[in-house]
Amino acid sequence: MSPPEAPVQGHKGRAAGTPPAVSVRLEVLARRADFLRAAQARRQGTAGFLLQARARREGEDGAEDGAGLIRVGFTCSKKVGNSVIRNRAKRRLREIARAVLPRDGRPGWDYVLVGRPEATVSRDFAQMLADLARALAQVHARP
């Protein structure tokens, strides 16, 4: 008896020839300068986190490598808690960004989600998803 054959897997575990689930690509911000530029732009507070957002200009770092690129960063200060709590908060922020930004975010924008003490870790996850969708709508509604 021979073992069953596994399907051929392409890049990132998808079957070869299968298109990605979303057409918008998320990239994580890594440079301090990107975080500082986002901090000086639009911001919207929610009960669970603070959203900072800015549109990248033409020719800026990250703007030239595709119109479908949304960049996102996550940060939690020591006010949020010890390293275990900060990492838990950032994991929750990453997950809500992964769920909401491809649908409600705009390509060509940078977003930074800043954790809040007590709230980011303890707030209901469904409420945080709704908070991010509402914060994105408010940020993009401004002129």
pLDDT digits (tens, 9 = 90+) for 91-139: 999 999 999 999 999 999 999 999 999 999 999 999 999 999 999 999 9
Domain that holds residue 82: 23-141
Higher-confidence residue of 29 and 62: namely 29
82 located within any domain: yes
Tokens of 36: 């500082």
15 located within any domain: no
Q: What angle do CA 19, 25, 27 make, to 5 degrees?
A: 145
29 located within any domain: yes
* Residue 8's pLDDT band (cuts 50, 70, 90): low
pLDDT of residue 25: 72
- In tens, the pLDDT along 38-93 reads 999 999 999 999 999 999 887 776 555 555 689 999 999 999 999 999 999 999 99
8 located within any domain: no
5 located within any domain: no
Q: Is the pLDDT of residue 11 over 70?
A: no
92 located within any domain: yes
Number of domains in the chain: 1
pTM over 0.85: no
> Residues with Cβ < 8 Å from 86, sequence gap 6 or more?
76, 78, 80, 115
4 located within any domain: no
14 located within any domain: no
Count CA atoms closer than 13 A to 56's CA, side-chain side: 25
Question: Coil, strand, or helix at residue 121?
Answer: helix
Q: What is the CATH number of the domain that holds 85?
A: 3.30.230.10
